[in-house]
Structure 1
Amino acid sequence: MRQRLSSVATALAVAAALACGLFGLGATARAGTGEIVRVEVLDGGTTARGTLQAALRITLQPGWKTYWRAPGDAGIPPTFSWRGARNLGAVAFTWPTPEIFLTSGFRTIGYHDQLVLPVEVTPQTPGKPVRLKGRMELGVCKDVCVPADVRFDHQLDPGAPRHPAIAAALASRPWSASEAGVRAATCSLRPTKYGMQVTARITMPSAGGEEIAVIEPGSPTLHAGETKTRREGNRLIAQTEFLPAEGRAYAIDRSKLRITVLGRDHAVDIRGCDAG
């Protein structure tokens, strides 16, 4: 098992290198100084729920791309740290609908040129100032891929007006299951030699064109492989394999599975599925 999982990790690293090119020390340094990517915090004021609306605006040099939370076959998932933040109770992201890229035969999912990522902040102590400080580690790719480490530090303004860039990003989120007319979503599990095969059957209207589904395990102890998707009439069938992180026990909770269907006309965000 240990050798198999190490091979999986190595294969993914090689795939990323093949899809995006070699990592170069010079390019990495440029990413670190913001020549390729920069970040700023946008204020969106106070929501009707009493939380604070903000966003991270990640701006890339023309032609560069970065990745969605589930980046695909060879992408690099972004990670966040909030060290140094003040009065930060909870943070919730709303990811805009991403694009699908095909590079050297590998499918990746992300954004080109710019990403406005809405962040809803719940203060730990209501009415007290919130300092949104942290760092974001992400991969950015053009002819090569480089890791970027961007930092931000901003005291949120609860009296700020509605920001048009945040509003546009929120509007571009995937549709919910009810908005998309999803009538049923079931997931069956079957043990494999090294992990667990998950097959989702989703009764829903077409999202348009070729539909690609992404199944996220909802657990840091699991890695999801590529999802194969096909349509049978009014039902979409999506299948993937979850592999456990090396040396770690795991359990699959169907209620925490997240299925995103990316289509030509819109995307659909399905939270959880029933046994079936």
Structure 2
Amino acid sequence: MRKTIALFACLITLAITATGAQAGGAMPPAPEDVVKIDVLPGWRDADGHHVAALRIRLAEGWKTYWRAPGEAGIPPTLNWQGSDNLAGVKFHWPVPVVFDTSGMQTIGYADELVLPMTLVPRVADQPITLSGQLNLGVCLNVCMPMDARISLVLPVDKAGAKAPIQRALRQRPDTAQEAGLRRAVCKVEPMADGLRVTVTLDMPAVGPNEVVVVEIADPSVWVSERSTSRKGGALTTVTELVPSAGKPFLLNRADLRMTVLAAGRGVDIRGCTGG
């Protein structure tokens, strides 16, 4: 029993790296009063991969952000370079919520985020030592970037609670096929400092107040605020992509990722054609 507890022990060191001032100059709350972070150890699947989840629990009213956080959000980053017997990690993001705060759109999660991840071991029948750093932002009326150091051993033959991870996996966006996407077309136009991309999605409505989020594989490219409109069966969004070089660049339409969000649903669309 003592050995099992040691294997599942998860060390989380949490600290604020930068803070914004609250109204009246009050000090922001302590990190441990705002967010609690742990790893749900999960299980090994039939392919020899380990299914686990990062869990972020937030104090009432606080929120954290999706991988594409919107205008004023802070995108999370995870670095597992200190890990052992780990060949790769794939994250399975649940459908996020679109927040409208003081006229600004942000995308993320309130109360709790359970982020499932599939961990691929280099040697299938050996434990994975998961070690790394999580950087995230949490916001209420003040936003606080935080760092969390994570250390955990995931054994081969022990399993943790499956229900929270399985529930989060079921909250994934629909695929393009499941949502009935008929066609995704991207019109690309050069601008002085980058590209303007008009995306037209021929698909049934996902729900009221649809928002289309456009992502590109290169994280150094700034993606502007989206304007989204629907006319009949066509959903259109216009966005601008501005690289650090500040000039037009070659864009592979297959590298674009579009997510349609509405009323608790999401649709994940990979790539588009030129017309």
Any idea what the Cα deviations from partners look like across 1:94-141, whole Å, max 9, x if unmatched? 100000111111000000111000011011222221011111111100
Q: Name the aligned partner's letter for residue 183 of structure 2.
A: A
Structure 2: distance between partners of 1:59 and 1:140: 11
Which residue does 1:145 correspond to in 2?
Answer: 143
Q: Which structure has the highest helix share of the two? A: 1
- Identify which range, 153-162 or 101-110, moves more after superposition: 153-162
Which residue does 2:28 correspond to in 1?
Answer: 27
Structure 1: distance between partners of 2:73 and 2:122: 34
Which residue does 1:121 correspond to in 2?
Answer: 119
Displacement of 1:162 in angstroms is 5.9
Structure 2: distance between partners of 1:113 and 1:162: 20
Which residue does 2:203 correspond to in 1?
Answer: 204
Secondary structure of the residue that 2:254 maps to in structure 1?
helix
Secondary structure of the residue that 1:97 maps to in structure 2?
coil
Structure 1: distance between partners of 2:27 and 2:83: 31
Which residue does 2:64 correspond to in 1?
Answer: 66
Contact 2:203 2:234 in 1 (8 A): yes
Q: How does 1:78-157 map to 2 (within 5 A)?
A: 78-157=76-155
Displacement of 1:158 in angstroms is 3.1
Secondary structure of the residue that 1:274 maps to in structure 2?
coil
Structure 1 residues 247, 240: CA separation in 2 closer, same or farther (over 3 Å shift)?
Answer: closer
Structure 2: distance between partners of 1:259 and 1:163: 30
Structure 1: distance between partners of 2:214 and 2:246: 23
Any idea what the Cα deviations from partners look like across 1:238-257, whole Å, max 9, x if unmatched? 11000002479853221111
Q: Which runs of 5+ in 2 are unaligned?
A: 1-18
Displacement of 1:168 in angstroms is 0.7
Identity of aligned residues (%): 44
Any idea what the Cα deviations from partners look like across 1:51-75, whole Å, max 9, x if unmatched? 1100000111111100000000111
Which residue does 2:266 correspond to in 1?
Answer: 267
Displacement of 1:220 in angstroms is 2.2
Displacement of 1:26 in angstroms is 4.2
Q: Name the aligned partner's letter for residue 143 of structure 2.
A: C
Secondary structure of the residue that 1:165 maps to in structure 2?
helix
Contact 2:36 2:58 in 1 (8 A): yes
Q: Name the aligned partner's letter for residue 80 of structure 1.
A: L
Structure 1: distance between partners of 2:216 and 2:172: 20
Which residue does 2:179 correspond to in 1?
Answer: 180
Normalised TM-score (structure 1): 0.86
Structure 2: distance between partners of 1:172 and 1:249: 37
Normalised TM-score (structure 2): 0.87
Q: Name the aligned partner's letter for residue 52 of structure 1.
A: H
Displacement of 1:144 in angstroms is 0.7
Q: Name the aligned partner's letter for residue 99 of structure 1.
A: V
Which residue does 1:44 correspond to in 2?
Answer: 42
Structure 1: distance between partners of 2:178 and 2:161: 24
